[in-house]
Amino acid sequence: MYSSITLIVGWLADKLLGDPTWLPHPIVLFGKTIAAGERWLNKDGHRRVKGGVLTLTLIVLTFCITAGIIHLLGLLSFARPLSVMIFSAILIFYCLAGTTLSKEVRMVFDAADRSLDDGRRQVGRIVGRDTSELSDQEVRKAALETLAENLSDGVIAPLFWLLLLGVPGMMTYKMINTLDSMIGYRTERYRLFGTVAARIDDVANYIPARLTAMLMIIVAGKPRLWRFVCRYGSQHASPNSGWPEAALAGILHCRFGGTHTYFGETIEKPYIGENERTITSADMRRAIAVNLRAEISMVVTVAIAMMVVRWIL
């Protein structure tokens, strides 16, 4: 029962608090560590090897440090179960990012309603692409694409790895995902250095991305969209990102994808869907509602699975 209760407490904390700026966040520490390693190693020769060493080292350290702290807390004679439960709930809270991104997406649409420049600045907070030349519709689509992808990266995948490998596995997944988001680009600077990080992230997200798409179309009441999702999800440059994006494009009956600029380089992404229609705030509200229902479904499923496993053991 401790695992299920811990999950619910951590998830509720995310729903209530999001990611307050005043609270120190371990993912920020991950980012600073990766940035420092990249500046130190991403130069001269053997960049693929150096990037691989950095990636594997940080992944192993994250799992071992998290598991080690939990083990040490478990050895305490005073309030042993409670200390482990509280620490695990805090880490689960840190690993879930559904609430914050939903708020950010709402803010993008509100900003775009005020002016195009405001929309560009706001969406620049949540996407990696260059936003200075985006049109109003491109701003709104970028926000929705990120919302769909984040449901997988920020909610479903962490919960999937929590179920498989516990809190250390969940934290390790966040390190993998942070590595990919920082050095996993196919640009001149990161093409070699981030190869290992990108490939590991592809593996870590393979099942969660498809699970996310399936949950989205089920909670939207459109299971027949699975053929649409399979058609367009597999065409995406990424083996995983296209699946939740295709699910949302199918649900909203719109089109995502196209040409984007990352770090000064133009990247061609295939289109997802065929209906090039105008995106409105109503679409944003519907997308957020679908995300929330899919998130709740996954939390309930994982909590029940944890209880079953505890009962069997």
Structure tokens given for 202: 């592809």
pLDDT tens digits for range 195-205: 999 999 999 99
Quote helix, strand, coil % in the chain, to nearest 5: 75, 5, 20
How much is the pTM? 0.91
Q: What is the pLDDT of residues 244-278, one digit of tens each?
A: 999 999 999 999 977 666 555 556 678 898 888 99
Q: Binning pLDDT at 50, 70 and 90, where does residue 140 land? A: very high
Where are the domains positioned within the chain?
4-312
What pairs with residue 269 in β-bridges?
A: 258
Bridge partner list, 256: 272
10 Å Cβ neighbour count for 148? 28
pLDDT digits (tens, 9 = 90+) for 17-38: 888 777 888 999 999 999 999 9
- Contact between 144 and 160 (Cβ < 8 Å): no
